[in-house]
Structure formats: structure tokens, C-alpha cells
Structure 1
Amino acid sequence: MSSEELAVRTAAAEAKAHAGDFRGAASEFRTLARDHVREVGADDPRTLGVRLMLTKVLGTAKQFRKAVEVCEPLLDDLVRVHGPEHDEVLETRQLLANLRYQAGDPEGAAQELELLRSALARVLVPTHDRITKVKRDIAFLQNSR
């Protein structure tokens, strides 16, 4: 299977998601993730991107627990491939925190946000707006228990 074929199938899965066919899109993204691993490798950015799209589609479809199950190993792989402060890692960690909250796990969301805050503190000034927002979100989650 060629890279072009994978790209066309990925675009078709994205189109399904944009059209509201989340079940069809999720099914296609699952298949695409396996095909990407086989064709270009598990750590290839395209493979990681397809897995991220699957996570987002599941979240949009309000299948939060399934999205968390997909996102956790994805985040682990992104950290391993890129390091803990990479933009994609930070965005995926934020996504996982949101999914955990939506899945009814505010404690897990707060823990994820604390890891995000810690990583952001290593790359941004302490008064950066993003750090301030993450701190507020952590406080909210801790008070909601």
C-alpha cells in the first residue's frame, strides 16, 4: 500500500468525521492506524496523527472512555518519540485531561493537568497565560471533588 493511498484514505476518514459519521470515521481511523504501523512504522508522524484523529473522533462522538483508552498509549508514544515538552505532547496531554474530565474522572484530569503544568513551566515563563489557565483548571477540578 502506498503513502498516497494512505493519505487518500485518511482524507476520506476525515471527511466522514466532518460529515458527522463518527462511527464510520472511527472504524476507518482504527484500520488506518494498523495499516500505517505496518507500512510506515509505529513512530511515524502520520501514524501518530491518525491515532490522534481517532482519539478526537471518539471524543467528539462522546465516547469519552474509549477516547481515553486510545489517548493514553498515544501520549506515552508521543512522549517517547518527542520528549515531554514537545508541542504535540502538550496538546495531547491537554486533550487527555479534557477527555478524562468528560469521562467522569476529575481526579485523573487534575493529575494530567498537573503534568501539563509541570511541562509548561519548563518551557514558558511562570506568568504565561497558558500556565495561569492550567492552574485555574486544576483548582476547579480539585474543588469539584
Structure 2
Amino acid sequence: MKKKAGKSQAVGDASARIDERIRELGDWRGAMLERIRAIVRQADPDVVEEWKWRGVPVWSHAGILCTGETYKTTVKMTFAKGASLDDPSGLFNASLEGNTRRAIDLHEGDEIDEAALGELIRAAVALNRASGR
């Protein structure tokens, strides 16, 4: 698969880049990103991994589901259409003021509610499919 106009990498290449990022981080952020990735893949075995915007892991299925951004003190999962998703478990804790995106900021020592996150990912897939993308 060829690279698309500089915006994303081929799927296998993107997965390798995400592996590399996890290893590069070498701390709790790498472990958190690895855990998030595993939950995304488990919730949606057909998810496509991409590498966009100069180094951001992206998970897509019929459109972008979420990203896995890493910062000095935070790992941020941004859901592209998060404002349109029900979040009964209250996972969204960042970017709450926007009309489109919602995010989950994770910090060192935070626990992930894997069942709730899996449901949120499946809901994002269903929303993308319903949107006709």
C-alpha cells in the first residue's frame, strides 16, 4: 500500500510506527498507549491503524474512531465524533466544550475501565458506519 499524500502511512507501516513509539516512550506512557491499543483492537478486530499528523497513532473504521496522543504527563484518546457518543460511564474528561470531539486524558497510575472503553469504541464504529463513511 502506498503512502497517501503525506497525511498517513500504509497500514503495516503505521502499525510498526506505533510499535516503535511504544518502545521509544519506555515509561508509563508507552505502557498506557500499548494498553489502549490492545483495548481498541479487542473491541474492533477490523480496526485500521494509521500514523498521521507527523506522529499520531490513529485508529479508524469507516472513518477515524480515535487517536492516541502522548504528552509529557498525559496520554490522550481523542474521539473524532465523541460529542455524538453516549458516555454512560463518564470516561470523557477532556475537550468537553467542543461540538464534535471528546477526549479521555489518562495520567500515570490511572486505571482504565476496559469494558466501558470497549463499549465506547464499538459505539464509535457504529456511528461511523451509520454516517455512511
TM superposition score category, shorter chain reference: 0.3 to 0.5
TM-score with structure 2 setting the length: 0.35
Higher relative contact order at CA 8 Å, sep ≥6: structure 1 or structure 2?
2
Question: Structure 1 length normalisation: TM-score?
Answer: 0.33
Q: Name the structure where helix makes up a greater proportion of residues.
A: 1
